[in-house]
Amino acid sequence: MGTAPAYRAGAVDKALFTGAFFIKKGMCMWKIAVGFAVFAGVALFILSKGGDIDMSGEKHGDTTHTEAPAAPTASKATSAP
Amino acid sequence: MATAAPRPMSAEEKKVIFASSLGTVFEWYDFYLYGSLAAIIAKQFFSGLDEGSAFIFALLAFAAGFIVRPFGALVFGRLGDMIGRKYTFLVTILIMGLSTFIVGVLPNYASIGVAAPVILIALRMLQGLALGGEYGGAATYVAEHAPHGKRGAYTAWIQTTATLGLFLSLMVILGTRTAIGEDAFADWGWRIPFIVSILLLGVSVYIRLSMNESPAFTKMKAEGKTSKAPLSESFGQWKNLKIVILALIGLTAGQAVVWYSGQFYALFFLTQALKVDGPTANVMVAISLIIGTPFFIVFGALSDKIGRKPIILAGCFLAAVTYFPVFTALTKAANPDLAAAQAAAKVTVTADPAECSFQFNPTGTKKFTSSCDIAKQKLASASVSYDNIIAPAGTPAVIKVGETEVLTVVTPEDIATAKDGAEKKLAELNAAEPQDAKAIAAATARVKALSGEKTAKDAVLSGKLSAALKAAGYPAKADMAKFDKTTVVIILTYLVLLVTMVYGPIAAMLVEMFPTRIRYTSMSLPYHIGNGWFGGLLPTTAFAIVAQTGNMYNGLWYPIIIAGATVVIGGLFIKETKDVDIYAND
């Protein structure tokens, strides 16, 4: 019986410490998640309002494509960074 | 190997990831800027060139992406292995950032003549060179700072930057365009996104200057074990060269085609094959990217637990076995009328095989002018599946849609008749009240095309074919009333999830495959060849296969075969690396 309060206090401390750790760790992730959601939301809003834009990245051969007759879009190779 | 006790990410580690990721955000921002502004840049810098010069510049632009980047991987990889990661990727971001900024202030062709495209191409070459060193540096730097058992989770943050770079470029471009108007944007406003990049560069350089050298490189340098000749050690010794080749065929080639299919080919397929309007397709893809992006971290972290190899190869395997049903389902969800027309109307191309080319055109400089090539190009662009019938030698190609024959040979009488019809239609539209501006613009463009010496034949053939296809039930555009948004987003998200499976753990795996003394060099080359060549050639190869075979899904054979080969070769020869001690062979 005599050790119970100390045990309980230790358990509470441990739980609080663990909780605080996870909250702190979680908060960091939450900040990133919320930041990403807000950023993505703004981008999506602008995209839905702004409309037509090529999202397929850098393509090659574009220097001549302004004059190329009937050049299919797919023939432009895309190169990743 | 004992694993480190789980602990939260330290402030220094967060800074390392942030600094490295900023550089890759920059890469992606730049990648999307050039894609979005390609037409404007071409008009500003290349419109005054004669055909011969334009051809040379097209080849040089192609080289900037396909040749210079792997070469940059060698140049900066070597530097990174000799003088250190920190200073090398400080140099790469400076070159990359300043080149981007200078494009924003570069006078155009009208101001300084041919010097404008020459300087632009030189800047693109410099960018390509720096880009070749950037990713390998970022991945190596983060992985060498990460505790054992966390490299997958830590390096996965770098992989999320593609989405951030895309969204950043969208916000800057669309924000500027909306603020100053379309005309001003095409005239001078396009420079703003390039100039704005100086802010990103400033922050990146400031943070990178305050970083420490990676612990692995510092230890190796202190022990005097740095490589004197990283290139010959990496590629001149079979035991390392073998791993470089395996990393390319057994990992990055498959990763690249899955990534390109999920992020770029899906968008291309929606807009070009399924005729969904651009803004709708963009929003669908953006939503799926938002849902999918956190999974880079999930699969990166999971790879620390269950291994990199099973996740990457499972992604490639799922891609190889599900692409056909998934893209077929995408057609039914996005454009059911097209799916119905393809099933109902039989289309054939009767042509002399000697006239038909494999329309592979990565530089955009070839012109396919035979009647067979033109017929196939038009049908493939209209997403029409067709059968090939062999015609006697010398016979011009004939397209048959149901019972309607469309001849590819266009006579002057055909042009005159079509021009009369188009002019009458334009007059009617101009006389109508209220006026339909879009229809008038389309009719004006058709009259102009029919009046041009070079464009008239093409316009007549396009008109005849469109009429025949319309009669057979082929829709000119996807009917948005039948467009199933939920299913389309689910399908696109599945494709992005495959991307996150193959791409999330790849940086950690590549880093762990090579010893510290040649890591930067050895991992950069397979990454850039895999992504630049295998991935970058996907759109043009897929189109050539579609045009050749007459089935709009057959382009998928390219990623399926490459991903399948990666599953087999990677499965047989690549060893799991998650438990590798990256200091062991130093």
Nearest CA to CA, how far is A16 from chain B (Å)? 17
Q: How many CB pairs under 8 A join A and B?
A: 221
Alpha carbon B384 to its chain's center: 24
How far is residue B30's CA from residue B100's CA, in Å, rounded to a whole number?
7
- pLDDT value for A15: 44
How many domains, in total, are found in chain B? 1
> Given B62, B378, B555, which is nearest A60 (Cβ)?
B62
How far is residue B295's CA from residue B497's CA, in Å, rounded to a whole number?
7
Residue A2 lies in a domain: yes
Residue B554 lies in a domain: yes
% of residues, chain B, pLDDT over 90: 46
- pLDDT value for A78: 64
Contact A42 B171 (CB under 8 A): yes
Residue carrying structure tokens 């100086």: B198
Of the two residues B380 and B498, the one the predictor is more confident about is B498
How many domains, in total, are found in chain A? 1
A22 to chain B: nearest residue by CA? B8
How far is residue B260's CA from residue B536's CA, in Å, rounded to a whole number?
8
Residues B485-512 have a mean pLDDT of: 96
**And the tokens for B317?**
């395997």
Computed over every residue of chain B, the mean pLDDT equals 89
Residues A3-27 have a mean pLDDT of: 47
- Length of chain B in residues, anyone? 586
Q: Exposure pattern of B326-349 as b/e (b: 16+ CB <10 Å)?
A: bbebbbebbbbebbebbeebebbb
Which domain, by its residues, includes B279? 230-345+476-586
Asked if pLDDT for residue B423 goes beyond 60, the answer is yes
- pLDDT value for A13: 52
- pLDDT value for B553: 93
Residue carrying structure tokens 């800047």: B123
Residue A17 lies in a domain: yes
Residue carrying structure tokens 């004197």: B228
B256 to chain A: nearest residue by CA? A80
- What tens digit of pLDDT does each residue of B441-480 get? 888 888 888 888 778 888 888 888 888 888 888 898 999 9
Residue B270 lies in a domain: yes
Asked if pLDDT for residue B206 goes beyond 50, the answer is yes
- What tens digit of pLDDT does each residue of B95-128 get? 989 999 999 999 999 999 989 999 999 998 898 8
Residue B204 lies in a domain: no
Asked if pLDDT for residue A61 goes beyond 90, the answer is no
Residue B225 lies in a domain: no
Nearest to B17 by CA among B500, B502, B507, B499: B507
Contact A56 B268 (CB under 8 A): yes
Which domain, by its residues, includes A15? 1-49
> Given B173, B539, B544, which is nearest A78 (Cβ)?
B539
Spatial CB neighbours of B442, under 8 Å, sequence gap ≥ 6: none
Of the two residues B581 and B195, the one the predictor is more confident about is B195
For A45, B228, B246, B342, B514, the CA distances from B239, given in Å and listed in that order, are 52, 18, 11, 52, 11
How far is residue B291's CA from residue A37's CA, in Å, rounded to a whole number?
10
B43 to chain A: nearest residue by CA? A66
Asked if pLDDT for residue A27 goes beyond 80, the answer is no
How far is residue B311's CA from residue B318's CA, in Å, rounded to a whole number?
10
- pLDDT value for A76: 55
Confidence category of residue B200, pLDDT binned at 50, 70, 90:
confident
Contact A50 B34 (CB under 8 A): no
Residue A8 lies in a domain: yes
Residue A4 lies in a domain: yes
CATH number of residue B550's parent domain: 1.20.1250.20
> Given B131, B168, B365, which is nearest A61 (Cβ)?
B365
Residue B455 host element (H or E)? none
Confidence category of residue B245, pLDDT binned at 50, 70, 90:
very high
Task: Look up the pTM and report it.
Answer: 0.85
Contact B167 A43 (CB under 8 A): yes
Could you give the angle at which helices B485-503 and B278-292 cross, rounded to 10 degrees?
50
Contact A53 B282 (CB under 8 A): yes
Residue A54 lies in a domain: no
Asked if pLDDT for residue A3 goes beyond 70, the answer is no
Residues B289-314 have a mean pLDDT of: 96
Residues B181-198 have a mean pLDDT of: 93
The single-letter code of the amino acid at B555 is: G
- pLDDT value for B559: 97
Residue A78 lies in a domain: no
Confidence category of residue B267, pLDDT binned at 50, 70, 90:
very high
Residue B104 lies in a domain: no
| Residue B290 contacts A, CB cutoff 8 Å | yes
| Residue B526 contacts A, CB cutoff 8 Å | no
Contact A40 B290 (CB under 8 A): yes
- pLDDT value for B6: 57
Q: For chain A, percent helix, then strand, then coil, each to nearest 5? A: 65, 0, 30
How far is residue B441's CA from residue B464's CA, in Å, rounded to a whole number?
20
How far is residue B381's CA from residue B383's CA, in Å, rounded to a whole number?
5
Q: Is this complex's ipTM strictly greater than 0.85?
A: no
How far is residue A64's CA from residue B5's CA, in Å, rounded to a whole number?
57
